[in-house]
Structure 1
């Protein structure tokens, strides 16, 4: 083989590999993300993320060096008399590299696969078109409430909004089933974020000012200048739109952007865990990687609760981080609540019988929302537990390595 063709082949293969590797470790390609049963996946995958970040930040000069090495053998193949098929091979590989360069930096970029709303519409309930049985992430600030349907934010991955004069960043990762609302302030300044990829199947965002990569499930900066810091996780709740609207009659609701009708259609069964894709489809058995759980965090302690058990028993009593907790299931079997069982100096124990939620200490009757409607404690309300999320079991255990499993040794 002509030595200049050999040099050309080596250079072009290295360039193609460079482009592919720059996205391979942070996108769901075969083998790019660690298995769900890794002993310490959040740390084991970090080396791959660090490599991806290094390639991301150095891709410019690496690409330039590769092109310089490519230039000389390409020039010799063009000006020197060589076999015609040498030039055909070289031309074909250059075309292949051009295609890879375009695909990697346009079509395969996370923020191009999952785009932000073009025409964002947030309307009052009187103008709402979202069905009441759809799950939403609800957020309230200074008396103003807004609901963000999972079917919509699951595609967008993030939606920026202002609620009660507070700027927020509503995020969702369908592969982890994690809904989070963050303050977009970084070091006290509002910043812009773009979806850059994933870390062990969880979405990552890159801030515009420093280029740091942030993990969606925890708000923690995993690589970059601000590594180790975290953006503020704001309290939000997940339930059906009907239940959210019953609590907040004046709520606003995010509407579907017509520009993404096809994408939303593919997400229509996600709420119920019936997605066709294996990365987003629910495992109906308990404690499997794709099983639904409720994860609760309190004072640095975490516990996971089986969604199937809560649906069956309707109420679960526990203690997390020294605080007495009760999880409640709404009549629709899709909405849930997490509440502190302490009322004044008294800690209550709840049971569900005869389709009623009652406490054993006073036999008062309560709603799943933590409101007492009858009995000695009528008019009392349970305080919400701030950090309670529904998500896939693999996600919660990946980023909460010391978590306990309720009713499990």
Structure 2
């Protein structure tokens, strides 16, 4: 009987040894790492934390988001395994340390999955409501992005767009995705129809200080500043851009008196107020230590254009002092001008009937061409003179931070009126 009991004792010994070896503390620490670190890294890469936005990590961010949940499940499994197999054998001090760390770690989910999750920090509007000018509550001095299509005009205030980052809407039966990123000062409007299907987009976070949005069908990530698919099924694709204008509401209504105007969503009034002066005060004006306000900084405003694939940026402060500029690049003659409100800008090509025109502002502040002395309004239409009835062609231009324009247009030319 003694000999028969030896194998049983040996088996029990082996089982206990294996059980203890599998229940060693490293199971807990590995489980804790898988449970916590992927979410923290993911949140770090998609939010503007120090150093995070300078990393070329959009592909890492994309695939990390896809595996965060499986990694957490695996980490939770390891921790449960440890608790079942080895927690009771741990010292009292070890139990307290591990329990405390686990509670703190689980508390971090509040930051990674709620507080710093982009689509919760900047929510979609709960109500999208428009009003005509008679019933409008938006101040006329507000800067807006305006879109016209099929006889319908709509205005979207920047401080509302800046908080929500995007408004998914229709203008004259055209589906539109109106976007704005406050970290880049970049407004864009896109056609949200991809492969014949209208897509809903969600805000993912930011890379290189620019908002990243994801379409619902393919889960592709798109840069807001240029509409390019950076990673995912449609990588390399381009969203179709819809022309828009940026101006004060007063200037927009002057040209489009029947325009509809996006009204504030009462759920987000405090968030809109946080952007109250965003549309008119530059970072250099807030910096009391900077003596030369014309210094080019990363958040200096520029006016950007792309002509036949070539980008060019214009120093906003220099342009503001001149109020108009006749320029030419990439075989295109241009007129850039600002209205009296110093916020509404326009860009036109200046060839009319095969003849290049050059412009000036007369004593009353009205546009006039030097060749025929015809008068022109701010919509590019000649209102009197030899060229009355002719219209200048508009060129899409963007007011943007210098750091953003330079990053997304690395070969850009730059004008600063030296």
> 1:328 matched to which residue of 2?
337
Cα pair distance change 1:184/1:366, threshold 3 Å: same
Q: 1:27 aligns with which of 25, 47, 57?
A: 47
Task: Report the alpha carbon displacement of residue 284 of structure 1 after superposing the two structures with TM.
Answer: 5.0
Q: 1:286 to 1:238 in 2, by over 3 A?
A: farther
Query: Is 1:341 the counterpart of 2:350 in the alignment?
Result: yes
Partner of 1:133: 141
Q: The residue matched to 2:391 in structure 1 has which SS? A: coil
Selected match of 2:36 from 16, 26, 30? 16
Alignment of 1:292-311 (within 5 A): 292-311=301-320
Question: What is the aligned residue count?
Answer: 391
3-state SS of 1:217 partner:
coil
Distance 1:352 1:147 in 2: 27
Note the alpha carbon deviations across 1:323-369, whole angstroms, 9 max, x for none.
Answer: 21100111111101101101111101112353343222222232333
Residue 368 of structure 2: aligned partner: 358
CA distance in 1, matches of 2:282, 2:83: 52
| 2:104 is the counterpart of 1:96 | yes
Distance 2:88 2:96 in 1: 14
1:393 pairs with one of 375, 393, 402:
402
SS at match of 1:271: coil
Q: Give the SS at the match of 2:302.
A: strand
Structure 1 pair 135–174 and aligned structure 2 pair: CA distance change class (3 A): same
- Out of 175, 180, 196, which is 1:172 matched to? 180
Quick one: which of 248, 253, 258 aligns to 2:256? Answer: 248
Partner in structure 2 of residue 154 of structure 1 = 162
Q: Secondary structure at the match of 2:264?
A: coil
Separation in 1, partners of 2:179, 2:82: 48
- 1:378 equivalent among 365, 388, 395: 388
- Give the C-alpha shift of residue 275 in structure 1: 7.7
1:56 aligned residue (52, 65, 81): 65
TM-score of the two chains, using structure 2 as the length reference: 0.89
Q: 1:333 to 1:378 in 2, by over 3 A?
A: same
Query: Which range moves more in the overlay, 65-74 or 344-353?
Result: 65-74
Q: How does 1:311-326 map to 2 (within 5 A)?
A: 311-326=320-335
Q: C-alpha distance in 1, partners of 2:391/2:319?
A: 21
3-state DSSP of counterpart to 1:228 = coil
**Cα distance in structure 1, aligned partners of 2:293 and 2:24:** 58
Give the Cα separation in 1 of the matches to 2:110 and 2:274.
26
| C-alpha distance 284-117 of structure 1, shift in aligned 2 (>3 A) | farther
Distance 1:286 1:142, change over 3 A: farther
CA distance in 2, matches of 1:286, 1:247: 35
Deviations 1:358-384 (A, max 9, x none): 222222232333222333223322111
Q: Which has the larger radius of gyration?
A: 2
Counterparts in 2 of 1:141-220, with a 5 A limit? Answer: 141-220=149-228
Residue 241 of structure 1: CA displacement? 0.3
Query: How many Å apart are 1:408 and its aligned residue?
Result: 6.9
The answer for unaligned runs of 5 or more in structure 1 is 35-44
DSSP 3-state at the match of 1:4 = coil
Q: Is the 8 A contact 1:325 1:340 kept in 2?
A: yes
The 8 Å contact of residues 286 and 306 in structure 1, kept in 2 or not, is answered as: no
Aligned equivalents of 2:305, 2:311: Cα separation in 1: 6
Once the two structures are TM-superposed, the CA of residue 407 in structure 1 deviates from its matched residue by 5.0
Secondary structure of 2:371's partner? coil
**TM-score, normalization: structure 1?**
0.90
**Alignment match, 2:281:** 273
Any idea what SS the aligned residue of 2:104 has? helix
Q: Does 1:233 align with 2:233?
A: no
Q: Please tell me whether the aligned partners of residues 357 and 369 of structure 2 are also in contact (alpha carbons under 8 angstroms).
A: yes
Give, in whole Å, the separation in 2 of the partners of 1:68 and 1:214.
34
Counterpart in 2 of 1:83? 91
